[in-house]
């Protein structure tokens, strides 16, 4: 290892080699040093920066092992909000992604995980649902005013009422209807189940109520033992069990020390990057 004034130092390439961190991650952490406490470099030689090895190791250990904070009982994680409001994780992620336009509440980051005040989030979501439903009803009312509620319409008109540019979704839903989808009033071709027709009023009613119908559906859970049923990476992997044991035995060990012990005790060869990811998973999920 290179030394400067008798102190071991690490370049970015050295850190990548020893810890397995991607160069892009190292650059991102360095760019955010004013907020994440990243140590300053000890010296720059040519175009290469060098950090004090012990100081960088200490910072990385603290980053991976932040002090645990007690959670206010009013705070809920995204998964817990999904259980409370019968919403899928994908729907919650969609609401969060649109936060700049829908006013989604800001989270409280606790132990590296986003949480929300359950009362604040609940009030916001009810208002969001009401606003969204009103917007849908407003669009539907304008469309409905153009025709008789008993008039029979095809997939194309039904699609426009729903705001779909492509009416193929309506044709597919006629054959395999989602919850609450109205059955066709008549089939132009009842044998092949083609050219269905609906009453305009039924289409308008479905368009206005479909968000409430979707919200009322239970959240689907993965079937235990089924394809892609693992709740997180390395679930059931004996290397994860070993990593948990070593973290418990050596709580103050650095990541490099833990990886070295994992190399020695595991009978399954793995790269430094893989061991690093397993250690991260072990800390995020200390129990199955």
What's the CATH code of the domain at 40? Answer: 1.10.1660
What is the pLDDT averaged over residues 144-157?
A: 77
Whole-number Cα distances in Å, 200 to 55, 141, 161, 184, 218: 70, 11, 9, 11, 29
230 within a domain of the structure (yes/no): no
pLDDT at 259: 86
Q: How confident is the model at residue 127 (pLDDT cuts 50, 70, 90)?
A: confident
My answer on whether 187 and 209 are in the same domain is: yes
168 within a domain of the structure (yes/no): yes
138 within a domain of the structure (yes/no): no
What is the pLDDT averaged over residues 162-168?
A: 70
Q: How confident is the model at residue 133 (pLDDT cuts 50, 70, 90)?
A: low
pLDDT at 41: 95
Look at 221 and 242; give whichever has higher pLDDT.
Answer: 242
Look at 106 and 140; give whichever has higher pLDDT.
Answer: 106
pLDDT at 286: 77
Domain count, the chain: 4
Q: What angle do CA 70, 75, 79 make, to 5 degrees?
A: 110
My answer on whether 55 and 95 are in the same domain is: no
My answer on whether 95 and 49 are in the same domain is: no
Measured CA to CA, the distance from residue 132 to residue 198 in angstroms comes to 24
Look at 46 and 235; give whichever has higher pLDDT.
Answer: 46
164 contacts: CB under 8 Å, gap ≥ 6:
170
227 within a domain of the structure (yes/no): no
What is the pLDDT averaged over residues 93-110?
A: 86
What is the pLDDT averaged over residues 89-104?
A: 85
My answer on whether 60 and 79 are in the same domain is: no
**Which of 83-87, 225-229, 249-253 is least confident?**
225-229
pLDDT at 39: 94
**pLDDT tens profile 72-85:** 888 988 888 988 88
Q: How confident is the model at residue 43 (pLDDT cuts 50, 70, 90)?
A: very high
My answer on whether 45 and 96 are in the same domain is: no
pLDDT at 68: 66
232 within a domain of the structure (yes/no): no
pLDDT at 225: 44
229 within a domain of the structure (yes/no): no
Q: Where are the alpha helices (DSSP H) in the chain?
A: 12-19, 23-31, 33-36, 53-64, 78-85, 89-97, 99-102, 118-144, 155-162, 168-175, 200-215, 238-249, 255-265, 272-284
Task: Report pTM.
Answer: 0.34
pLDDT above 90 for 54: yes
Please report, to the nearest 10 degrees, the dihedral formed by the alpha carbons of residues 74, 76, 82, 85 taken in order: 10
Look at 252 and 13; give whichever has higher pLDDT.
Answer: 13
Structural domain for 168, as ranges: 147-215
% of the chain residues with pLDDT over 70: 82
Q: How confident is the model at residue 166 (pLDDT cuts 50, 70, 90)?
A: low
136 within a domain of the structure (yes/no): no
280 within a domain of the structure (yes/no): yes
């Amino acid at each position: 290892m290179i030394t400067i004034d008798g102190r071991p130092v690490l370049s970015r390439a050295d850190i990548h080699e020893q810890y397995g961190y991607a160069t892009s991650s190292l650059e991102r952490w360095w760019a955010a040093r004013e907020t994440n406490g990243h140590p300053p470099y000890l010296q720059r030689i040519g175009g290469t920066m060098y950090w004090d090895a012990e100081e960088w190791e200490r910072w990385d250990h603290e980053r991976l092992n932040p002090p645990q904070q007690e959670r206010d009982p009013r705070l809920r994680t995204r998964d817990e909000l999904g259980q409370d409001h019968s919403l899928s994780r994908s729907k919650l992620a969609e609401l969060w992604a649109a936060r700049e336009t829908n006013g989604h509440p800001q989270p409280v980051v606790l132990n590296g995980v986003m949480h929300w005040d359950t009362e604040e989030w609940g009030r916001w979501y009810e208002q969001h649902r009401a606003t969204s439903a009103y917007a849908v009803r407003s669009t539907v009312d304008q469309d409905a005013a153009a025709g008789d509620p008993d008039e029979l319409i095809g997939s194309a008109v039904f699609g426009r009422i729903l705001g779909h540019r492509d009416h193929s979704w309506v044709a597919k839903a006629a054959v395999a209807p989602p919850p609450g989808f109205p059955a066709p009033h008549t089939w132009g071709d009842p044998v092949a189940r083609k050219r269905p027709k609906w009453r305009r009023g039924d289409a308008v009613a479905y368009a206005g109520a479909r968000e409430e119908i979707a919200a009322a559906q239970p959240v689907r859970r993965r079937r235990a033992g089924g394809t892609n049923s693992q709740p997180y990476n390395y679930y059931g992997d004996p290397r994860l069990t070993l990593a948990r044991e070593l973290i418990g035995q050596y709580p103050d060990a650095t990541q490099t020390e833990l990886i070295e012990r994992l190399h020695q005790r595991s009978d399954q060869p793995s790269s430094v990057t893989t061991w690093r990811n397993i250690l991260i998973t072990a800390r995020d999920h200390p129990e199955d």
